[in-house]
Structure 1
Amino acid sequence: MASKTPPKPKHSLEFPLTWEELMKSVEFQKQLCGDVLQDYILQQRWYGGKASKLKYIDVLDYFSVQNESDLYYGLVIEANYVEAFVQDYFLPLGLVKHPDAVDGNIIAHIKLNEEEFWLVDASLLESFRKMIFEKITEGNKTKHQHLEYRRGRKCLDDDYTSSRFLGVEQSNTSVVYNEKYILKFFRRLYVNHNPDYELSKYLTNKGQFENTPGYAGSITLKFSDKNVMTIALMQEMIPNEGDAWDYFSKNIRKGIQAFNASKRDLAKIQKLSPLQQINENEVDAQLTELFGKSFFEDIETLAHRTAEMHVSLGMERINTEFTPSGYSYDYTVWLKNRLVYMLDNRINLLENNLHKLDGLALDLAQALLSNKKEVKKRFLDFDENRLKGERIRVHGDYHLGQVLVNERDFYIIDFEGEPESTIRDRKVKQPPLKDVAGMFRSFNYAIYASIFNHQDEHNKSIEEHFELAELLYDQMVGVFLYTYIDYVQSHNLNIGYRKEIEFLLHYCLLEKAIYELGYELNSRPRWAIIPLKGISSILNPEQHESSTSL
Structure 2
Amino acid sequence: MSNDSYGDGQFEVHYDTDWKNLLEEERFRRELCENILESYILNQRWYGGKASALKYIEIIDDFPIERENDLFYGIVLEVNYKEAFVQNYFLPIAFVTDGSLIGDKYITPIKLNGISGFLVDALLLESFRKQIFEKILEGDKFKYKEVAYRRGRTNDAKGYESSRLMGVEQSNTSIIYNEKYILKIFRRVYVDENPDYEISKYLTMKGIFTNTPKYLGSITLRFSNKNVITLGLLQALVPNQGDAWEYFTNELKGIFDEISKQHPDVHTLKSTRYLEQLELSKIPNNILAWCPKLFFEDVAQIATRTAQMHIALGSERSNTAFTPQAFGNDYTVWLKNRLIYQFENRINLVENNIYKLHGLALELAEELLKNKKIIRKQLLDFDEDKLKSERLRIHGDYHLGQILVQDHDFYIIDFEGEPESTIRDRKVKQPPIKDIAGIFRSFNYAIYATIFNNESEFNYSQEELFKIAEVLYSHIVGVFLHTYINEVQVANLNIGYIKEIEFLLQYCLLEKAVYELGYELNARPTWAIIPLKGISNILNQQNYE
TM range (shorter): over 0.9
Aligned to 1:67: 67
Cα deviation 1:308-345 (Å, max 9, x = unaligned):
00000000101100000000100000000000001100
Residue 256 of structure 1 deviates from its aligned partner by 0.9
SS at match of 1:297: helix
- Separation in 2 of the partners of 1:109 and 1:468? 56
The 3 A distance-change label for structure 1 pair 131 and 478 is same
Cα deviation 1:365-386 (Å, max 9, x = unaligned):
1011000000000000011111
The 3 A distance-change label for structure 1 pair 9 and 73 is farther
Amino acid at match of 1:257: D
- Separation in 2 of the partners of 1:20 and 1:128? 16
Aligned to 2:79: 79
Aligned to 1:391: 391
- Separation in 2 of the partners of 1:155 and 1:385? 45
Matched ranges for 1:14-413 at <5 A: 14-141=14-141, 144-224=144-224, 226-413=226-413
Amino acid at match of 2:410: F
Aligned to 1:424: 424
SS at match of 1:38: helix
Residue 163 of structure 1 deviates from its aligned partner by 0.7
SS at match of 1:119: strand
Contact 1:136 1:149 in 2 (8 A): yes
What fraction of aligned residue pairs are identical, expressed as a percent?
A: 59
Aligned to 1:544: 542
- Separation in 1 of the partners of 2:55 and 2:143? 33
SS at match of 2:528: helix
SS at match of 2:127: helix
Amino acid at match of 1:531: P
Residue 55 of structure 1 deviates from its aligned partner by 2.0
SS at match of 2:197: helix
SS at match of 2:24: coil
Residue 31 of structure 1 deviates from its aligned partner by 2.1
SS at match of 2:447: helix
- Separation in 2 of the partners of 1:407 and 1:104? 39
Aligned to 2:499: 499
For structure 1, which segment, 381-390 or 39-48, has the greater mean C-alpha deviation from structure 2 after superposition?
39-48
Residue 8 of structure 1 deviates from its aligned partner by 4.9
Note if 1:448 corresponds to 2:423: no
Cα deviation 1:73-103 (Å, max 9, x = unaligned):
0110111222222111111111111223101
- Separation in 2 of the partners of 1:250 and 1:115? 53
Runs of 5+ in structure 2 lacking a partner?
none
Aligned to 1:527: 527
- Separation in 2 of the partners of 1:382 and 1:190? 30
- Separation in 2 of the partners of 1:41 and 1:75? 13
SS at match of 2:460: coil
- Separation in 1 of the partners of 2:221 and 2:112? 29
- Separation in 1 of the partners of 2:81 and 2:6? 34
Residue 28 of structure 1 deviates from its aligned partner by 2.1
SS at match of 1:258: helix
Residue 451 of structure 1 deviates from its aligned partner by 0.9
Residue 185 of structure 1 deviates from its aligned partner by 0.8
SS at match of 1:353: helix
TM-score scaled by length of structure 1:
0.96
Residue 392 of structure 1 deviates from its aligned partner by 0.1
- Separation in 1 of the partners of 2:271 and 2:38? 56
- Separation in 1 of the partners of 2:359 and 2:123? 47
- Separation in 2 of the partners of 1:268 and 1:100? 64
Amino acid at match of 1:537: N
Contact 1:172 1:188 in 2 (8 A): yes
Contact 1:207 1:313 in 2 (8 A): no
- Separation in 2 of the partners of 1:154 and 1:290? 45
- Separation in 2 of the partners of 1:382 and 1:206? 33
Residue 69 of structure 1 deviates from its aligned partner by 1.6
- Separation in 1 of the partners of 2:83 and 2:251? 45
SS at match of 2:512: helix
Contact 1:11 1:36 in 2 (8 A): no
SS at match of 1:441: helix
Residue 7 of structure 1 deviates from its aligned partner by 5.4
- Separation in 2 of the partners of 1:483 and 1:143? 49
Residue 194 of structure 1 deviates from its aligned partner by 0.8
SS at match of 2:390: coil
Residue 244 of structure 1 deviates from its aligned partner by 0.5
- Separation in 1 of the partners of 2:492 and 2:104? 56
Contact 2:191 2:223 in 1 (8 A): no
- Separation in 1 of the partners of 2:57 and 2:263? 63
Runs of 5+ in structure 1 lacking a partner?
none
Contact 1:7 1:104 in 2 (8 A): no
- Separation in 1 of the partners of 2:6 and 2:352? 47
Amino acid at match of 2:317: R
TM-score scaled by length of structure 2:
0.97
For structure 1, which segment, 415-424 or 23-32, has the greater mean C-alpha deviation from structure 2 after superposition?
23-32
Q: How many residue pairs were aligned?
A: 541
- Separation in 1 of the partners of 2:27 and 2:140? 32
Residue 237 of structure 1 deviates from its aligned partner by 0.6
- Separation in 1 of the partners of 2:48 and 2:464? 40
Residue 207 of structure 1 deviates from its aligned partner by 4.9
Contact 1:154 1:235 in 2 (8 A): no
SS at match of 2:63: strand
Cα deviation 1:479-529 (Å, max 9, x = unaligned):
000000001011011000011000000000000000011111111111111
- Separation in 2 of the partners of 1:502 and 1:265? 31
- Separation in 2 of the partners of 1:422 and 1:452? 33
Amino acid at match of 2:24: K
Residue 428 of structure 1 deviates from its aligned partner by 0.4
- Separation in 2 of the partners of 1:364 and 1:207? 46
SS at match of 1:217: strand
The 3 A distance-change label for structure 1 pair 101 and 142 is farther
Contact 1:6 1:99 in 2 (8 A): no
- Separation in 2 of the partners of 1:453 and 1:8? 38
Amino acid at match of 1:544: Q
The 3 A distance-change label for structure 1 pair 320 and 226 is farther
- Separation in 2 of the partners of 1:272 and 1:143? 60
Amino acid at match of 2:35: D
Contact 2:269 2:468 in 1 (8 A): no
Residue 233 of structure 1 deviates from its aligned partner by 0.8
Residue 532 of structure 1 deviates from its aligned partner by 0.8
Amino acid at match of 1:26: E
Residue 23 of structure 1 deviates from its aligned partner by 1.6
Cα deviation 1:288-307 (Å, max 9, x = unaligned):
12111100110110000000
Residue 275 of structure 1 deviates from its aligned partner by 0.5
| CA-atom RMSD in angstroms | 1.5
